Structure 1
Amino acid sequence: MGTKDQWYENATFYAIDVEAFADGNGDGVGDLRGLTERLDYLESIGVDCVWLLPFYPSPNRDNGYDVSDYYGVGAEYGTLGDFVEFVREADRRGIRVIVDLVVNHTSDQHPWFRAARSDPDSKYRDYYIWREDLPENPDPHRGPVFPGEEDAVWSYDEEAEAFYYHRFYHYQPDLNVANDDVREEIRKIMGFWLQLGVSGFRVDAATLMIDNKGGLESTRLDDPHGVLRDMRHFVERRGDDAILFAEADDAPEHLGEYFGTTTGRRPDEAEAREELGESDEMNVLLNFLLDAYLVLALAEEKAEPIREVLDLLPPRPAGGQWANFLRNYDELNVGRLPQDDQQTVFEAFAPDEGMRIYGRGIRRRLAPMLDGDGDRIRLAYSLLFSLPGTPLVVYGDEIGMGDDLNLPGRTAVRTPMQWSADRNGGFSTADPEDLVRPVVSDGEFGYESVNVADQRGDPDSLLQWFSRLNRLRGECPEIATGDWAVFDTDDPAVFAHRMVSDHGRVAAVHNLGDDDATATLELDGEPTRLFGEAEFERVESEDKTDKDVSQKDKDTSKNDIGGYGNDKEGSDGWRFEMGRYGFCWVRLG
């Protein structure tokens, strides 16, 4: 099965928390009207698709992920009419919109749960998962998602006189997706928003949604991934070229299953796509594994973690894509790293205990993690945008926004967008005490120092640089969908790789270290600079030191792209000289 237009394969996704982006009516809360007024900005930086975090009616105890009505807009954000206008105006600018589909659980204030708790004979009782007593031997692998904030996954409801299941907070009871009626409700929800013009859904907690919840027979799915396939079938029938964009944070050996394919690593990704066929579940997977290893590479200033994670990831089937990111709007989760590596990341980027959360994550934005070092921030984004997949950025990261560690939990990275040096950073005309959250106002990341207006007028700003990078990447489809190979280099701080497709060949070299670095690469074609300031020159054959691909890759024929990965005949040696955190992208002639 294939989405008619695979637009998502080479798109830049931009995540927006509506309440923190732009206030259009001056009440201190971001809204759809304010968001619509800022669409020209999104167009100017090359955003292809906006991902809206939940804006539905909600008690808002978990940033909107406790939904009480799937068919509306929270009154503080506007109306359905405002939403339709936003989608229409975005489409006029060539920007698509996807919305969060939060159907692993609901709010405990949702009418379904209210009916379920009040009447054991209600059909809604079976929408949720109940038991009369606590399990004697709870499954340690199905513990609370938020350790330290929730102690258990079963909570007692006085009205229902029974325990209900929740992997998230106690006010977010899990839906029983094994119930046919629940799956029909999910289809109705998707159909409603597709009718309003969205281009798909970011499927929240996809891994947990299809789990055998509570280990009960009543929640066991005969074919867990069949739920995701059914969702994909429905979206393609009803939404033309709409997509499913999944939060699937699972072990590497299982990730490929969410594309709808087998999981084994193939010796060649192009061959793998031919063998695996087309993706028939999720179109796009958030690449949590790459994120953790990429941050480890930045912490160690070494390339090896990037090489390692690219080998861990399953190949993409036709129509499947990774969404690569450095930071999202949650904690930076390093839980998939070995314990020693987790500690390395914490010591580098979260040295204070207050910067950490849940024992596995960091509650900081990228710019302060990297000490506001412009060279290092640019290196990180250049690396991200050059890796196989498509990029995801969170509002404000394009200007280097900071965080507010005085705010609780993950809210620290969800402060209002900083538009200008005016009051409240241009986010709202309301009194500061009426803002949904305070704007970062102090220090080097305060809104007077970091804002859109100032950076728009500065050709050397991070914003202007980011816009150029994003536009360039859109002109290099081989990065998004091509086959890749990694060069061996003598310097452990240098990561070099190339991407090949029918569109052409691109190579990129990145120095992750704080010292100058040199790498000599054998390139099949003369390089022409695309991006970056590293110097490069041709060298004589005897000076070539860095082989085309690792010995491991040669032995297994892994990523022997375009038929020339192991064939050095006709290759030229090129020496790249980079300053601290330097990089360069080149097109091969």
Structure 2
Amino acid sequence: MLNLWYKNAVIYCVDVDAFLDTDGDGVGDFQGLADRLDHIEALGADCIWLLPFYPTPDRDNGYDITDYYGVDPRLGTLGNFVEFSNAARDRGLRVIVDLVVNHTSIDHPWFQASREGHPKYRDWYVWSKEKPEDADKGVIFPGVQESTWTFDRKRGEYYFHRFYKHQADLNIANPAVREEIQRIMGYWLQLGVSGFRIDAVPFIIEDLKKPGDGLTPYDYLTEMRQFLSWRRAEAIMLAEANVPMDQANDYFGDGDRLNLIFNFPLNQKLFLALARGDGRAVGDFLKGLPDIPLVGQWATFLRNHDEIDLGRLADDERQEVFAAFGPEKSMQLYDRGIRRRLAAMLGGDERRIAMAMSLMLSLPGTPVIWYGDEIGMGDNLDLPERQAVRTPMQWTPGKNGGFSSARPQDCVRLPIADGPFSYAHVHAMGQHVDPASLFATTQRLIRARRSCPEIGWGQPQVVSGTPASVVALLYEWRGGRVLTLHNLADSPVEIDCSHVVGDDAVRPMLQAGIDIDRASNHSRIRLAAYGYEWLRLEPAD
């Protein structure tokens, strides 16, 4: 029987270099991560996603890799990775790692050999003798990135880079490159990981659209999945694929391609709904969710290590979200996104932050939480581009928030020392012992989510007849029924759920202070401003 553990998992995303520094060099390390596994375990997550930790010049937060088979010396050694992996497994925590194979750093030995014309590596990258006419189209980082082709003096040709010019694209159409990718996957699977978050999946397969060996782009995903399943049956592939819903099943296949796909379009509708205080953008989107294979799964999230990409919203909708959450130009990025943390966007209002977290956890799929959001960390807009949301984890009110004993200016990124989101005010130590803290609230929410396989396995039914500000979702699976209610408005609402509840007994799962009126054959539920509740519906007898 298939082990579909990811269907009801909660994933916690960690940037190792920003979590905890144990040797005083200002950079987090694997020993520090192992020392803080108790925090992740206590939160209730059961899988850790590690951002890139491989050797790198670190021009793009580790996504410019020079060795796929090692650990950046600043973060420790392979031995430290194995110790961390074993410690995580002892706590029942799985580990997935970033697989970044669309591109490498131009400092990678493969690229250096390719530019010198080495016979083995000559065609491992995408080269052109002439600069293509469309070189200025399709840039991912407008305003920062000028082109997708750069001239290399040593080789005398142009190399392709979908991202920054220091990240040359691998030639996935080359069978030798695909074989090397399997070797990389097999290596980390052998070291105990439970799968991969695959970076930039649509760009990995774009070269395969060219005719040649008969391999279609999506067939390559099947090839990767077959290898993964052969090496470790329960391992997963979680895709970064910001694609329209009508393309989703090209990536899921018949359940033989990707296991999970981040639901970027839903994330954009979620922030539009939060900006409006109106849940209809989410409800209408969920009504149009495509059917996906039973073994497939969406990955839902509020924030991650990148900007909030609003590129699939209409222009006027995007401006609404900008006005609500990123009104200043310094808060926006690449003409499409917002580079702020959740708590800062919501003004530090813990009612609203908790409601947003609860709503995300109640959406169909597997929830993914960005480190620090569970305690309401803020952002540092003085840092460039996406670095603003990658500040060090705030553990204590002491120096550097307990992240490092180094001087603040020597830390990998400057800790937040001033303002309402500084480590003096927002830190894990104080929240661990406060039953009313955001951390404690998130614990309860994750406990509720993991007790609701209906959400992980069932399909959402958007409940009609509710106030516009409310997102009401009903899940049914194997006889279980769960109703989740979220009020996005800053004023109380009353919801008549009689047509959903019927004669069932109503058991609140969060005890969030709601008022349920069962009189006169009605089921009226009153939610406070930014109120929320999860209800288990059970036969009255």
**Partner AA of 1:449 in structure 2:** H
How far off is 1:489 after superposition? Answer: 2.5
SS of 1:280's equivalent in the other structure is coil
Say whether residues 1:528 and 2:507 are aligned partners.
Answer: yes
Residue of structure 1 in register with 2:453 after alignment: 477
1:240 to 233, 236, 255: 233
Matches of 2:288 and 2:149, distance apart in 1: 34
Residue of structure 1 in register with 2:265 after alignment: 289
**Alpha-carbon displacement from aligned partner over 1:525-560 (angstroms, at most 9, x marks no partner):** 22111112221112435xxxxxxxxxxxxxxxxxxx
**Partner AA of 1:586 in structure 2:** L
How far off is 1:453 after superposition? Answer: 0.4
Give yes or no for contact 1:489–1:496 (8 Å, CA) kept in 2. Answer: no
SS of 1:319's equivalent in the other structure is coil
How far off is 1:152 after superposition? Answer: 1.1
How far off is 1:139 after superposition? Answer: 8.5
How far off is 1:472 after superposition? Answer: 1.5
Matches of 1:308 and 1:212, distance apart in 2: 35
How far off is 1:198 after superposition? Answer: 0.3
Say whether residues 1:581 and 2:523 are aligned partners.
Answer: no
Alignment of 1:4-15 (within 5 A): 4-15=2-13
How far off is 1:240 after superposition? Answer: 2.8
Residue of structure 1 in register with 2:37 after alignment: 39
Identity %: 49
Residue of structure 1 in register with 2:127 after alignment: 130
Seen in structure 2, the aligned counterparts of structure 1 residues 78 and 138 have a Cα distance that, compared at 3 Å, is closer
How far off is 1:326 after superposition? Answer: 0.6
Residue of structure 1 in register with 2:139 after alignment: 144
How far off is 1:257 after superposition? Answer: 1.4
Give yes or no for contact 1:212–1:221 (8 Å, CA) kept in 2. Answer: no
Seen in structure 2, the aligned counterparts of structure 1 residues 137 and 419 have a Cα distance that, compared at 3 Å, is closer
Matches of 1:54 and 1:167, distance apart in 2: 18
Seen in structure 2, the aligned counterparts of structure 1 residues 363 and 462 have a Cα distance that, compared at 3 Å, is same
Matches of 1:256 and 1:380, distance apart in 2: 28
Matches of 1:377 and 1:44, distance apart in 2: 20
Alignment of 1:46-61 (within 5 A): 46-61=44-59
**Partner AA of 1:55 in structure 2:** F
* TM-score, scaled to structure 1: 0.89
Say whether residues 1:209 and 2:192 are aligned partners.
Answer: no
* TM-score, scaled to structure 2: 0.96
SS of 2:97's equivalent in the other structure is strand
Give yes or no for contact 1:126–1:179 (8 Å, CA) kept in 2. Answer: yes
Residue of structure 1 in register with 2:351 after alignment: 375
Give yes or no for contact 2:466–2:472 (8 Å, CA) kept in 1. Answer: no
Give yes or no for contact 2:135–2:149 (8 Å, CA) kept in 1. Answer: no
**Alpha-carbon displacement from aligned partner over 1:431-458 (angstroms, at most 9, x marks no partner):** 2221111111111100010000011111
Say whether residues 1:538 and 2:487 are aligned partners.
Answer: no
How far off is 1:379 after superposition? Answer: 0.8
2:279 to 284, 303, 310: 303
Give yes or no for contact 2:486–2:532 (8 Å, CA) kept in 1. Answer: yes
Give yes or no for contact 2:172–2:207 (8 Å, CA) kept in 1. Answer: no
Matches of 2:414 and 2:365, distance apart in 1: 34
Specify every segment of 5 or more residues in structure 2 that has no aligned partner in the other structure, as ranges. none
Seen in structure 2, the aligned counterparts of structure 1 residues 139 and 168 have a Cα distance that, compared at 3 Å, is closer
Seen in structure 2, the aligned counterparts of structure 1 residues 465 and 490 have a Cα distance that, compared at 3 Å, is closer
SS of 2:182's equivalent in the other structure is helix
2:247 to 238, 241, 254: 254
Give yes or no for contact 1:178–1:221 (8 Å, CA) kept in 2. Answer: no
Aligned pair count reads 534
Matches of 2:343 and 2:441, distance apart in 1: 15
1:229 to 207, 211, 222: 222
**Partner AA of 1:438 in structure 2:** L
How far off is 1:311 after superposition? Answer: 2.9
2:77 to 72, 76, 79: 79
Give yes or no for contact 2:394–2:428 (8 Å, CA) kept in 1. Answer: yes
Give yes or no for contact 1:489–1:495 (8 Å, CA) kept in 2. Answer: no
2:27 to 26, 29, 32: 29
How far off is 1:364 after superposition? Answer: 0.1
Matches of 1:490 and 1:171, distance apart in 2: 51
Residue of structure 2 in register with 1:194 after alignment: 189
SS of 2:226's equivalent in the other structure is helix
How far off is 1:71 after superposition? Answer: 0.2
How far off is 1:483 after superposition? Answer: 2.5
**Alpha-carbon displacement from aligned partner over 1:235-285 (angstroms, at most 9, x marks no partner):** 111123111111011122102211114xxxxxxxxxxxxxxxxx1111111
Alignment of 1:459-478 (within 5 A): 459-478=435-454
SS of 1:302's equivalent in the other structure is coil
**Partner AA of 2:74 in structure 1:** E
Alignment of 1:381-400 (within 5 A): 381-400=357-376
**Alpha-carbon displacement from aligned partner over 1:391-449 (angstroms, at most 9, x marks no partner):** 10010000000000000000000000000011110001112221111111111100010
1:185 to 180, 189, 207: 180
How far off is 1:25 after superposition? Answer: 1.2
Q: CA RMSD in A?
A: 1.5
Specify every segment of 5 or more residues in structure 1 that has no aligned partner in the other structure, as ranges. 262-278, 542-572
**Alpha-carbon displacement from aligned partner over 1:280-306 (angstroms, at most 9, x marks no partner):** 111111111111000110001111111
Give yes or no for contact 1:403–1:440 (8 Å, CA) kept in 2. Answer: yes
1:416 to 392, 414, 418: 392
Matches of 2:59 and 2:324, distance apart in 1: 31
Matches of 1:168 and 1:445, distance apart in 2: 32
2:404 to 412, 416, 428: 428
Alignment of 1:167-178 (within 5 A): 167-178=162-173
**Alpha-carbon displacement from aligned partner over 1:186-205 (angstroms, at most 9, x marks no partner):** 00000000000000000000
Matches of 2:389 and 2:108, distance apart in 1: 28
Which of 392-401 and 436-445 deviates more? 436-445
Say whether residues 1:356 and 2:332 are aligned partners.
Answer: yes
Residue of structure 1 in register with 2:105 after alignment: 107
Matches of 1:74 and 1:212, distance apart in 2: 29
Say whether residues 1:519 and 2:498 are aligned partners.
Answer: no
